[in-house]
Amino acid sequence: MQTRQTFAAQQSSNRRNSVLLIVMVALLLGALGFAIGYGTTGAMSGAFGVTTGAIVLAMLLSVGSYFAGDKLVLATSGAREVSQQSAPQLMNVVQEMALSAGVPMPKVYIIEDTAPNAFATGRDPNHASVAITTGLLEKLDREELQGVIGHELSHVRNFDIRFALLVAVLVGSIALLADFFLRFTFWGGGRRGGGDRDRGGGALIAIVYVIAIVLALLAPFIARLVQLAVSRQREYLADASSVELTRNPHGLEQALAKIASDKEVLEVANRATQHLYFTNPIKKFEQRSSAMFSTHPAIVDRINRLRQLTGDPPLDAADVQALTGLD
């Protein structure tokens, strides 16, 4: 028998871990900007100038994604909006979960795909959408569907889409800044004179310049790993929040196991959108899969965390073997 956890304890831990991870990305962006600025100009004004420029770049990148990102995701997924008349059972479940979560009724979309999955998108609860595949509706019963919809509306309630956007913009800014600096260095930009070099600080500037090159090479990779860790923490948080809404951990647990075991390939998913889905839509048996860059926690870990909420024992060896490597 494993130790039982409360909803609040799991949610608090996941939120704390998410914030710590995003602070790491922000600090990495600041450190990269400072090292590049000081290493190339030899002046503190240059260091702060590049750092400020990186922050402005991140803000500019966020504007388009903030206002149009959800429409782009829905369009590329081939989603079509449904109504109470065309999908009454689905709409009823979404309405139930929206009331339970205390969020406005989102727009509901259907994706014509036999692979069971779902995702939520939108910048806030007032501009949210939920998309569900036809495979999910056909293969899950009502309790399992409630668990999945509760998970997706928890993403909406927890502002996970906005959170993911912030992390993605920071990571993208790091990649762009690093790429620009390395190209600048490769094509002979090098270090500029003046600043602290004229006051005998040449050795320090050279060291910082080398640090800037190392950071430019490693920072995008590190930032991407942190981004994936943030995504996994928010999935754990949405799972716990879904159980809080439905008061039925078994429905969500069964949905996780059933979707993970399904062999259908979700054709409309890609690397850019995979983090949005309820479970990783890119299966490990596919060529496009990458274990290192997985956006979701392992199904076994997600189920065992749900079992901590009820005090049930973790999955036995046979169940673990059956589910390992499917997601």
Candidates 144, 142, 103; CA nearest to 306 is 144
Residue pair 252/150 in contact by the 8 Å Cβ criterion = yes
**Apex CA 124: angle with CA 140 and CA 303, to 5°?**
35
- Assess whether pLDDT exceeds 80 at residue 2: no
Query: What is the DSSP track for 245-296?
Result: HHS-HHHHHHHHHHHHH-----TT--TTTGGGBSS-SS-TTSTT--STT-SS
pTM, rounded to two decimals? 0.80
Q: How far apart are CA 230 and CA 175, in angstroms?
A: 17
152 given a catalytic annotation:
yes
Position 193, amino acid: G
- Assess whether pLDDT exceeds 60 at residue 142: yes
Candidates 257, 326, 263; CA nearest to 114 is 263
81 DSSP 8-state letter: E
Q: Which of 152, 235, 244, 253 is catalytic?
A: 152
Alpha helices in 77-193 (DSSP H): 88-101, 134-139, 142-157, 160-186
- Residue carrying the six token digits 């429409």: 71
pLDDT of residue 267: 85
Tokens matching residue 23: 């602070």
326, containing H or E segment:
none
What pLDDT digit, counting tens, does each position of 281-293 carry? 887 655 555 555 6
What pLDDT digit, counting tens, does each position of 241-265 carry? 999 999 999 999 999 999 988 988 8
> What CA–CA distances, in Å, run from 171 to 134, 136, 232?
33, 32, 16
- Assess whether pLDDT exceeds 70 at residue 98: yes
What pLDDT digit, counting tens, does each position of 147-185 carry? 999 999 999 998 887 777 777 778 888 888 888 888 888
3 state SS of 121: strand
pLDDT of residue 64: 66
